[in-house]
Amino acid sequence: MKGEAITLGFDPGLAVTGYGVVHALSDGWEVISGGIIETTKGIPRAQRLREIYEEACALISTYHPYGVAIEEVFLARNARTAMLTAEARGALLMATVGVPVRGYTPLQVKKRITGYGKASKGQVQAMVKQLLHLNEIPHPDDVADGLALALCYMLDLQGIDRGECDYL
């Protein structure tokens, strides 16, 4: 990785999409921002997806990330939930036109962040806190997940499993 870079991670969801913005420095990483994109309940789904798209576009425009990481829809117990999450991913992907994007499954995130693919959510959150030198675990969970995804991209930039998750 040349010099300093900024990555943006998204944990997609129709109701709540978490995001994290991480800046690589010569001696580690720092959190620039983290938060959630909350859509308005009760309005048509297309409008909710547009809200996600517009907020993601605004984040990309504000932070000018080197790359974006978006969690993959890997396996869901509820088919409807999986479809809604996949639609939110689609809105996020549309917002990333012109920016390199990588997808990570939950198992890949766990393995990169903790070294163990079956780590608990709490273990991932604790490692995000430690790796980013935070005083506390980011809340809500969606923010911690967004930061973990941004870190995955950073780790890839440093040569760990580089290219494995690129979109073509």
Catalytic (active-site) positions: 11, 71, 142
Please state, in angstroms and rounded to a whole number, the distance separating the CA atoms of residues 49 and 168.
23
Q: What are phi and psi of 22, to 5 degrees?
A: -120, 140
CA-nearest of 23, 21, 31, 22 to 3 is 23
- What residues contact 136, with CB distance under 8 A and at least 6 apart? 129
Which amino acid belongs to residue 91? Answer: A
Which amino acid belongs to residue 120? Answer: S
CA-nearest of 27, 16, 29, 2 to 152 is 29
DSSP letter for 39, please: P
- What residues contact 77, with CB distance under 8 A and at least 6 apart? none
